[in-house]
Amino acid sequence: MKIAIASGKGGTGKTTVASSLISVWESPVIAMDLDVEEPNLHLFLNPTFTGKKPANMEIPKADNTLCSQCGKCSELCQFKAISLMGEVLMTFPEMCHGCGGCIAICPEGALTPEFRELGEISWGLSGRAEFLMGRLRVGEAMSPPLMRAVKEKLKEMMNVSSKDVIPKDVIIDAPPGVSCPAINAVMDSDVILLVTEPTPFGFYDMKLAHEAFSPMNIPMGVVVNRAGLGNNKVYDYCTAEELEIMAEIPYDRKIAEAYANGCIIAESSDEMKNIFMSLAEKIKQKAGCKNAAEVCRD
């Protein structure tokens, strides 16, 4: 089972929820930070890193002496990352998504692959949980290809082919927002948790996220952080949209202090531990609902 912890905007407590859920998760679990532009799950889980590797993307390198200026590559590239300007072929590596299409289509062999470093993938252990994260290189804007590389590493760690191994669950700290990286992070999950706060901004961004993720037909629930603050708009929306509020984290000074000190809030009191254990159970039930719905559809 994969659970994506998402939010319509940053600063709602997404990583706080992810780290606490991981700390109470009973079955084998991989904590995966896909917020590659600003990964910070490791600051809470404090993993011991056991490995790392650079993540590269294949981009085209042009040899103008071989190019016949047929224009097929620039017609194909939907990102305008390769372009014929007069008789000169130009490439724009920062805009390339690494699909390899232009290299495959070139009839003259004028395009060959070279690599551009996107960032780094690192992994390790945090207590009972395995840990995996990606970090985008400073100045790099292309996070989805790095996220794909992190997911490839996840497949290795899942070890699903072995019959002796209990299947591992994955808890994903997704990037905030509703743009390409956020969609990429949640798209193959079994349950999406939207973390929000009961403020006008929290409501607006949760609504955006709900609308953006709904077409994927993945069961969704809401965690209200800083409950007791603000107004009722989040609650009214969830009722109207039949969106389950799966947990509420109270607006409390002690919780804020635990967070500010980099502590896992589920470990700060029995009350918080119970909130997250109950959330874990509800997530499992929700994932079960999805499976049942799929069986019914089939």
Residues at the contact surface with ligand SF4, assessed by CB under 6 A: 59-60, 62, 67-73, 76-77, 79, 81-82, 84, 89, 96-102, 105-106, 108, 110-111
CB of 216 to ligand SF4, least distance (A): 24
Contact 24, 267 (CB under 8 A): no
Give bridge partners of residue 62 from the DSSP assignment.
111
Least distance to ligand SF4, CB of residue 174, Å:
24
Using the minimum distance from each CB to ligand SF4, give the nearer residue, 30 or 62: 62
Query: CA 242 → CA 202, 205, 222, 237, distances in Å?
Result: 18, 17, 11, 8
* Shortest spacing between CB 91 and ligand SF4, in angstroms: 6
Question: Toward ligand SF4, which CB reaches closer, 31 or 77?
Answer: 77
Select 77 or 206, whichever has its Cβ closest to ligand SF4: 77
Q: Which is nearer to ligand SF4, 95 or 277 (CB)?
A: 95
Min separation Cβ 239 and ligand SF4, Å: 44
Closest CA to 35 of 1, 57, 11: 11
Question: CA-to-CA distance for 16 and 267, rounded, in angstroms?
Answer: 11
- 271 vs 13, 18, 46, 249, CA distance in Å? 18, 17, 23, 10
Q: CB neighbours of 48 closer than 8 A, spacing ≥ 6? A: 124, 125, 126
Is the CA virtual torsion 234, 222, 277, 256 positive or negative? negative
Say how far residue 27 (Cα) sits from the centre of its chain. 21
156, 169, 160: which is closest to 1 by C-alpha?
A: 169
Return the structure tokens found at 92.
């724009």
- Min dist. Cβ of residue 67 to ligand SF4 (A): 3
Residue 40 or 69: the one with the smaller Cβ distance to ligand SF4 is 69
Q: How far is the CB of 136 from ligand SF4 (least distance, A)?
A: 18
Q: Given the complex with ligand SF4, which of 110 and 193 has the nearer CB atom?
A: 110
The number of beta carbons lying within 10 Å of the beta carbon of residue 105 is 14
* Cβ closest to ligand SF4, residue 82 vs residue 191: 82
Q: How far is the CB of 143 from ligand SF4 (least distance, A)?
A: 15
CA dist 21 and 41 (Å) reads 12
